[in-house]
Structure 1
């Protein structure tokens, strides 16, 4: 009989988990930024190109902020 080799499968590294946390947080932040930014821009009376620019800026800011906090939280858990 051949000796059995122990094969261990490694999970993602801590840095990979932080990247995944940032990506998920960025997506969630973008969605919430679209909703909140859209409503606030419409309330402010924005239309057309101004509306899209304002909502896009709000989405990227929300995504970056929430993604950063998710990455930090994931890093703490590693």
Structure 2
């Protein structure tokens, strides 16, 4: 079996700030997706439709993305 090549070619390693940004972006994407699922189910179960549904869903998705992204960024910063 051949040896695994280095992921970072030519000695480039991302800085701690880059890792924190990537952690935030990854957490924000996961938070947006989970906020869309859970917020969508909650809004539909409350009987919201149309503009009310989209408004409520958008708020839940932004809150979930921001919260989870912040926690992922903090966790990544601790690991640096």
Report what 2:41 is aligned to. 39
Runs of 4+ in structure 1 over 3 Å off: none
Q: What is the TM-score when the length of structure 1 is the normalising length? A: 0.88
CA–CA distance in structure 2, aligned partners of residues 39 and 13 of structure 1 = 39
Residue 60 of structure 1, aligned match among 59, 62, 78 = 62
Q: Which runs of 5+ in 2 are unaligned?
A: 1-9
What are the equivalent positions in structure 2 for 1:9-28 lying under 5 Å apart? 9-28=11-30
CA–CA distance in structure 2, aligned partners of residues 71 and 25 of structure 1 = 8
Give me the CA root mean square deviation: 0.8
Matched length:
71
Q: Which runs of 5+ in 1 are unaligned?
A: 1-7
CA–CA distance in structure 1, aligned partners of residues 12 and 40 of structure 2 = 43
Q: How far does residue 39 in structure 1 lie from its aligned partner after superposition?
A: 0.3
Q: How far does residue 10 in structure 1 lie from its aligned partner after superposition?
A: 2.9
